[in-house]
Amino acid sequence: MFYLSKIFWLVVQPLSLAFLLAMIGALAALAGWRRLGGLSSLVAALVLFVTLYTTTGNVLLQSLEDEVARPAEPPSAISCIVMLGGAVENEVMSGRGGIEFNAAADRYTETLRLALAHPQARILVSGGDGSFSGRYEGEAGASERFFAAYGVPADRLIKENTSRNTWENTLNTRDMLAAENLADCVLVTSAFHMPRAMALFAKAGIEVTPWPVDYRTSGRLSFGFDFTQPSLNSQNTATAVREWLGLIGYYAAGRIDRPF
């Protein structure tokens, strides 16, 4: 299922879908099916336009970010901080060493802030290598180096380094929290990812306080045109579509009780 989901996403992400539709249009035109070729090319152009030059993807992302609000203050008693992985560039680190973050770096920086403010709390880092090859170190090594650099001792960390997606994050986290007898946890992940994470944790019977980070929209967007930042629009559209498909897929598979 993991590999099927990866292949499915390679095909249906907006730019890949536009390319496939354009190819179908070209092949249909060459075969003499001009109506089919024209229709396919038109749909490809429409997908590209919506992806690159409208706020559609940003609004879809904003709707996810608005779903789970962050409390004004964290709970007074925190025994653990669960941070979902996905914020490091495994391929870059494997070639260059060090710690390299992607756009979700807030997961690390906010977890560090909470850890320093609550020195009694354990830190559970959940996230392995979600690539096709499975040959990278995942979050465990990088997280230990990062937190140690800011004075957080290694014995505060609980490293879950085998999960490849949020479903496996949840199951492995549940087992580790039970083994360590930990409760009263704060869950740190990207705001757009929090609805799916919270639905999975609820299904698994894990009670956590959501602490969304890594907001990527202003919260005041509406549908319209945007010709100023096509590359960012494309990236946010892909992120939003992937997360919405994840919610729908997990609901269809019975992994969560509600899709939204």
d(CA 56, CA 52): 9
Return the pLDDT at 130: 55
The pLDDT tens digits for 94-115 are 788 888 999 999 999 999 999 9
- Is the pLDDT confidence value at 3 over 80? no
Percent of the chain clearing pLDDT 70 (strictly above): 96
Let me know if 19 is exposed, middle or buried by CB neighbors in 10 A (0-12, 13-18, 19+). middle
d(CA 36, CA 34): 5
**DSSP assignment letter at 210:** E
In the chain, DSSP assigns E strands to 80-84, 122-126, 157-160, 185-190, 208-213
Give the global pTM: 0.92
The structure tokens 């906010």 sit at 110
Phi (first) and psi of residue 206, to 5 degrees: -100, 115
Going from the N-terminus, what domains does the chain have, and what CATH number goes with each? 2-65+227-252 (no CATH), 80-213 (3.40.50.620)
Q: How confident is the model at residue 50 (pLDDT cuts 50, 70, 90)?
A: very high
Let me know if 221 is exposed, middle or buried by CB neighbors in 10 A (0-12, 13-18, 19+). middle
**Residues 177, 181, 183, 187: what is their CA dihedral angle, to the nearest 10 degrees?**
-20
Return the pLDDT at 124: 97
- 8 Å CB contact between 64 and 191: yes
Return the pLDDT at 119: 94
- 8 Å CB contact between 173 and 206: yes
The pLDDT tens digits for 125-143 are 998 765 555 566 778 778 9
- 8 Å CB contact between 176 and 167: no
Mean pLDDT across 71-88: 89
Q: CB neighbours of 102 closer than 8 A, spacing ≥ 6?
A: 86, 87, 88, 89
Return the pLDDT at 229: 97
Return the pLDDT at 93: 82
- 8 Å CB contact between 65 and 193: no
The pLDDT tens digits for 216-229 are 999 999 999 999 99
Return the pLDDT at 133: 54
Q: CB neighbours of 17 closer than 8 A, spacing ≥ 6?
A: 11, 44, 47
- 8 Å CB contact between 25 and 44: yes
Q: How confident is the model at residue 149 (pLDDT cuts 50, 70, 90)?
A: very high
